[in-house]
Structure 1
Amino acid sequence: MWKQFTSRRNKRRNAMQRKFSGVENLEDRRVLDASGMMVDPAIFQAMMAQADSSWGSDLHADQIGDLATQLRMDLAANGMEMVSFIDSAGDADAFHFFAPETGSYMLQGRMVRTIDTDSELETGDVPPIVGDSNGDGQFDSTDLIQVFKFGHYEDNIPNNSAWEHGDWTGDGEFDSSDLLLAFQAGTYLSDSAPPADVETDSLPAASLAVHLFDANHAQLLAGDADNGVVFFANEGDEFYFSVNALDEADQGLYDFQIRMVGDPPPDDIDQLGRDAHPDQIGDNATRLDFAGGAVILNSGIDTPGDVDSFQFVAQSTELLVDVFDPVQNFNLQVLDQDGAVVSNAWDVEEGQAAGPGLYFLETGATYFVTVSSSTGETGEYLFHLIHQFIPDEPWRPAPDSALGEDIHGDSPNDATKLTVDGYTVVDSFIDEANDIDVFEFTSTG
């Protein structure tokens, strides 16, 4: 019943200035996250500002039981989040909560530790990558999924946004200026592109361990909170968990979040067969709600030949699909209301739309998503759908054609010539299966 899997979501905070007591000033200190990468001091200070105590106060009990800190989860607010401290070497913090609904939950967090700049650090800070809202060292679809899930985009609430919410300009807001800055930087990586190499000194990392227990204090799982652990719970189930530094000598700031991530995942062949989603597209297909711009689907292929069908009405022209930990021979298709397969912009074989990828849609039209295994495998799947990953804004040019016009050549001989003045933006279409658009430009630097 208990399954652990890797996720790329780690937290990153926006810059804000604050002095704090109990530790040295940050002019003489640096902090490292689980990867050993330096965290910007201002980001560390922002995390400090949200902590539930001061460093060294040891607010939370070390052992699970009656003294464990009681947590209350608000699913409407995307779960529950806490920032606190491993106050000393060997310290642990214990918590207690009840599952508010039946479903799959993720517990994820990270820790940062301080180091002396004189004794342990020879180089300067590694600057954050614009757009890297989750702090994993690259700007990709997972960052866009995260920022639109928070719902801060042009929400008319003054100064409520931080780095992780999409405020990359530092003005306290998440709006078109942040997206413009991020895409002008040219660091966005599609899921098909390898991540850029980042050179960092070989420094000791700080990682947060988590141990989950049932109501009788029996341990259910233990894992690395940086990667995240997923577990299934029925409504009202009682749990305890504790967090501590993987290296007992480490101390420092940590944050964690508990949130629901989707349908209950099947965990063994005896429990497969619940089949929460219809096999056929049509009116009975499970409806997807893109409130906040994204959906996370965590479900399962229940029996050999099972198909899970979903439906939604397109609210923008783009749908981005990002797949994690699929069953073997996982197959995802996006179909229009007539049942015709919508081509994946990153596919190269006609008729194959197996995700992850980018799909171009007609606003207001009904579309279906089907999930299956092409070889009859059963098991769990998890994928993200993000709708509106680049909102239509005045800075973004209108498409240069209508879908299907195919105004760009397919080979270098008839490539479209681009005029690049610092940067250029092209908004066009993959017009049909196997379509290729080729562009030509002259380097000026």
Structure 2
Amino acid sequence: MGLKVLVIGSGAREHAIAHTLLKGSSVEQVFVAPGNPGMAQDGITIVQLAQHNQAALIDFAKENAIDFVFVGPEAPLIDGIVDTFEAAGIKAFGPNKVAAQIEGSKTFAKELMARHNIPTAQYRSFSSLEESKAYVAEHGAPIVIKADGLAAGKGVTVAMDEDTAYKALEEIFVDHRFGAAGSSVVIEDYLEGQEFSLMSFVRGKEFWPMPISQDHKRAHDGDKGPNTGGMGAYSPVPQIPQSVITEAIDTIVRPVTAAMVDEGTPFNGILYAGLIATKEGPKVIEFNARFGDPETEVVLPKLTSDLGEALKTILDGGTPTFTWDEHRTTLGVVLASNGYPIKPQTGFAVPRFDLSGDPDAHVYYAGVKNTEDGLVSDGGRVLLVETTGNDIADAQRKVYSIVDAAQTTGYFYRHDIGAKGLPGYQAD
């Protein structure tokens, strides 16, 4: 009998995790709670249980002899769902409540990095509008404003002028746009360079890095428009040399995982390091306590080994095996509802994509729901179309031939995913 795995979450990230688990010979069945109806097309079993209903999830795991649980999103991790599963005798892959603070509080992460000399931007924390505005006036722009807590990837403003910084602070403190996440802010120095995401499977001081990726946060082509949760991603990132990746592992991933063990808050699970390649070397923009989205949808398709077997091995204390397709490029494009991220307009028919000419292509669903007429949009980011090519240009050609041919009324998407990795790229 193969493994039975329960994945917590409902987005395209969890769809990619579940799909990758099922591709491995070790896994017999994957349940996703609460999931979304688009996942069912891949043989994934949807469980109608909310991700915050810990008691019901524990009952389900016991009744269905679940071998281990994989927690996808940040909110249940920060709520302590892993602690709850472990207390019930159920193995769960993810950090406990204390360790998840590395994402749940930017101040926690910044103070940890300061204590252990991990390279990141200089910063100050503030809990009032007046103090933070005074600091911006004194410091000047460009400057970066971050809501301290969870803001679904949208709580960061890179302010190139002081007026933009003041507006961002007012959205946090006056408009309460991010709720409790905005009870305090972290204000950072602006760093220049290309960003990249380095995710690792972690067990205490041991870690197994994944191929790097780069996502696109702004809503529109040319990095214009508001910040989003991510409009697409690609992997690898050819403009980031291997020497920079090695330096990031040695100066960031290794010391931060060791620091958390040494301070009594060991991290287990997926550690996401959002990094920037500056002239002084790689520096940390942020840490997340889980897989990134949309990075997961382009990194996991590169995995050529068995994900379920590796995760179980990590949970059991053994040494896992990970092998990756290191020669080809994966690239994914998000279809988002018109109006996203401010006020998404939903209820539009989900496009049907012709994947018949591309055996590498896959659709990962997020904000969708079932109706009598089929799937319709039910969120900001609705799905991601991913494929694999020989290089970035080939992957772009393949994925956009699929997306451009579909009926996308009610949606928008970026047309330049991966452009920064092309030879001769120049920003506008």
TM-score by length of 2: 0.25
Greater helix proportion: 2
Structure with bigger gyration radius: 1
